Amino acid sequence: MTPLSSATGPDLQADLNRAGFYPKMVADIIDEALDGRETGAHLVHLETHFDQHEVHRHITVLVLAEDVLLVTHVDDQQLDEKGKEVMAQVSTELVQLSKVTTVATSYVYHQPQNYRTGDMVKELTLGIAWAGAQRIDLAPAGCADPACDADHGYTGTSQQEDLVLRVSAEADGVKAVTAARSFAKSMRRASAPRGTEARTAPAPAAEVRGRVSSRFGRNTHQG
């Protein structure tokens, strides 16, 4: 296998090889999208979903490179029952770090009453927002009266997020959670540097509404 160029580095290549999801193709796409930029932190997240008798896999690769965040996503799909004909769809998005508005992390600990410094996180969810996309979670509203059958409408939450990745120690392994946590720290440092460094002003609302960007097909990055 031809290794990635020095612009992307051997650690990313090793993680792509370890994931085993068309590593050469993904590496070439990343090289093309970065266009010679020097890379920093990265995160490779592979997920598998079962749909009745079919198995669907997809991989998301996040790469910090100088002043940008590269988001690469690959889905594959079997075109016949025997799996001899396979199609891969690749999407990339190059995001200016100055446009990133939110880096959110959610942690899950088991038995928090016994927590000690350094205890392992069981699940970690990383959310990154840059273009104003909103996720709205709704559920029927209720009241305290168990006998009430009135329609109370809906209640829910709205969160700004363009990308959401969920990693769990049970499904993905402890190393995957550690890697995601490390990347989240790097992402926070890169997108919200300390001190008085100037940041590019946010894009006007009209520009944001008019921007065309892929949300990577069916995948919602929530595992």
The confidence score (pLDDT) of residue 157 equals 54
The confidence score (pLDDT) of residue 215 equals 38
Torsion of CA 191, 172, 14, 120, to 10 degrees: 60
Q: What is the pLDDT of residues 13-29, one digit of tens each?
A: 999 999 999 999 999 99
**Residue 7, pLDDT above cutoff 70:** no
User: What's the Cα-to-Cα distance from 50 to each of 35, 160, 177, 223, rounded to whole Å?
Assistant: 35, 28, 22, 12
The confidence score (pLDDT) of residue 174 equals 93
The residue that leads in pLDDT, 14 or 8, is 14
pTM given for the model: 0.71
- Across the range 146-160, mean pLDDT stands at 69
- First CA to last CA across the chain, in angstroms? 29
The residue that leads in pLDDT, 210 or 114, is 114
- Across the range 72-83, mean pLDDT stands at 78
> Could you write out the DSSP letters of every residue in the chain?
-PPPPTTT-HHHHHHHHHHTSSHHHHHHHHHHHHTTPPEEEEEEEEEEEEETTEEEEEEEEEEEETTEEEEEEEEEEESSTTS-SEEEEEEEEEEEGGG--EEEEEEE-SSGGG--TTPPPSEEEEEEESS--EEEEEEE---S-TT------EEEEEEE-SEEEEEEHHHH-HHHHHHHHHHHHHHHHHHS-SSS---PPPPPHHHHHH------TT--S--
**Residue 97, pLDDT above cutoff 50:** yes
Q: What is the pLDDT of residues 32-62, one digit of tens each?
A: 999 999 999 999 999 876 666 666 788 999 9
The confidence score (pLDDT) of residue 80 equals 65
Cα 71 to Cα 216: distance, rounded to the nearest angstrom: 10
The confidence score (pLDDT) of residue 210 equals 37
**Residue 188, pLDDT above cutoff 70:** yes
% of residues, the chain, pLDDT over 90: 52
The band of 4, judged by pLDDT with boundaries at 50, 70 and 90, is very low
Helix orientation angle between 23-34 and 10-19, rounded to the nearest 10 degrees: 140
Whole-number mean pLDDT of the chain?
Answer: 78
The confidence score (pLDDT) of residue 83 equals 62
The residue that leads in pLDDT, 131 or 189, is 189
